[in-house]
A = this chain, B = another copy of it.
Amino acid sequence: MRQPRVEIEYCTQCRWLLRAAWTAQELLTTFSDELGEVALVPGTGAVFNVRLDEEMLWSRQEQGAHPDLADLKRLVRDRIAPGRSLGHTDRRSPPPPPADHEH
């Protein structure tokens, strides 16, 4: 069975190669048995897109920010290794509830 491919398209003008390569190494370290490859794709125009096979997992233009690594790992895990624990990445406590305004 062909293993999934991740594609990280990054903007060369914005010098995002280092961020893209760091993200690739993190995904390949966490999912070394599950991923077939991670491809780094040079682009322009402030692009930073992460695709899993044909699905767009994260688009900086749409989401308005770079992906948080733990969120990105959960997005990948939910598709290629559902149920698998990501250790501390999963235990990261959700953001605190909004402060109580009574006092």
A-to-B contact residues, CB < 8 Å: 5, 7, 12, 17-18, 21, 24-25, 28-29, 32-33, 35-42
Contact A41 B32 (CB under 8 A): no
Contact B39 A37 (CB under 8 A): yes
Shortest A76–chain B CB gap in Å is 14
At the interface, is chain A mostly helix, strand, loop or mixed?
mixed
**Residues of B contacting A24 in the complex (Cβ-Cβ under 8 angstroms):** 21, 24, 40
Closest B residue to A5 by CB, please name it. Answer: B39
Q: How far is the CA of A95 from the CA of B41 in the complex (A)?
A: 35
8 Å CB contact of A28 from B17, B25, B28, B35: B17
Closest B residue to A41 by CB, please name it. Answer: B37
